[in-house]
A and B are shown apart, each in its own frame.
Chain A
Amino acid sequence: MRAAVIVFPGSNCDRDMQVALQAVASAPVEMVWHKDTSLPKGLDLVALPGGFSFGDHLRCGAIAGKSPIMRAVSDFAHAGGHVLGVCNGFQILTETGLLPGALLRNGNLKFLCKPVALTVKTSASPFTSAWNAGDKAMIPIAHHDGAYVADPETLKALEGEDRVAFTYADGAPNGAVHDIAGVLSENRRVLGMMPHPERAVDAAHGGTDGAPLFRSLADALVSA
């Protein structure tokens, strides 16, 4: 598997994502600046990292979503490429329309930074195949705008098509509708999630519950 991590001004989990992909998925990782207009050749995965791209101005992820590189990322996704967006990366994916719904200010208005228990809702995706549906995983969150919302029809489609990847096991701390923590695209190759799996891949992180996500990717994209 070959991967790229997109770096925006204000990204702050880009290196963590690079290290997790290298360490757990044994992937060569290229860092790509947001002003680039094309992706490296032969990529299997593009990761949009967490952070506060463009200072969260206008709306979280809105300005990054219009960055030159995002046109190439959209083309990559529409051609069947795999894309992982974590935290700010998830916000960017909803802003570009690669995933449905939106992320709003946390219901209690607090910045939430703590490990949370997630329920893995599906193992039928290249991001979650190393888990069984129903498994629990402790993965940190760190966000101010993580309340997932979508209209009733979209929610029905997401749930009916088994496209909710993760929910908050003990109720959404941020007010997300139906406790949704991560969702998949229709072709299941784009995942957006608020929790940070890249911050839970080494014993020194306090836990390795995020590692199965990267192992799943390594398995799915091994021969690509």
Chain B
Amino acid sequence: MTRRFSTSRRSILAGLGVAAAGISFGGLEGCAAKYPIGKNGEEQRLNLYNWDTYTGKTTLADFKAATGVEVHMSLFATNDELFSKLRAGNPGFDIIVPSNEFVTRLKISNLLEPLDLAKIPNRVNLLPSFQNPAFDPGRHYSMPYTWLVLGIGYRKSKIDGVPDSWKWLMDSDRYKGRIGLFSEADDLMGLAAKYLGHSAHNVPPEVIEQIARMYIKQKPNIKIFHNDEGQDLLLSGDIDIVMEYNGDIAQVMVEDPDLDFVVPREGSIINSDCLCIPKGAPRPDNAHQFINFVLDAKNGAEIYNTIKYPTPNAAALALMPKEYRDNPAIFPPADRMARCEYAQFEGMKRSQFYDETLTRIFAS
């Protein structure tokens, strides 16, 4: 049995979240020990709400050594979980790590605190392409932590050649019974639109209809719609070809050289996970200190060495070993990346429409 229950950004927590949605919170502040007051007048404490296995091995200890601030990390498994928790009022988090389309959702719902850019001088370390993204012009609400691209993870010995088209997942019975797809409605619709030659955004209803028919036809060939534990299923041999994020596959490629990752030629969807300060954060100055700390070259390198996700930080990238920088699973080729689009929040009505379409695909 090679089943592992860790080292995935989301997997086991997604399972736990299913079992215990919402028990994790209640007394964030209640049972707090007394913390000394720092120079900035805030308690020497910081509540970080993060994905699983998404910091470096020594990051939090290093931060405490540098600033005296003790970081308490809680974990979430999906952006939706993060959103539904904050929607009911900030339970005491100082920093959250939403993906870019959720930065948009949180921002328009007035749940984010604007950043004081003067307190984050290390932002100059960011690659130019991350300085001024469309979802947060001028970076007034979010600082990039990682970026991720959806693609195909596969077992080389079981797949013929490089499966560099979404066709092998969505529209072919060649790998019948060995296929795993993401169970996220937005990603399934957007990626299928890319496969059919459309943009991932503002997909017309008749194309959605076509996509629904395609998935319904493909369903008998699909072994599982997974909740972001695709890399574990691939590693354990349950499936041989899977829709997953590059970082998740890069993590298991270290353990099993028979695995590989490709961004299909039709292009894909990119996300960027960002550090944000939620409205009502009790210790905003500590939060700014933490963001600035993470954007430092050396501290960043420590993180990316562990988590194997691509970094938006040019200075940290320069410190990274060659195995990371030249890893095509972590940094897919530029011509493929050029065909990718950032995930985008397209309004409440559309998420509900997509969700209903997915329910229809599952139920039929």
Decide whether A and B are members of one complex: no
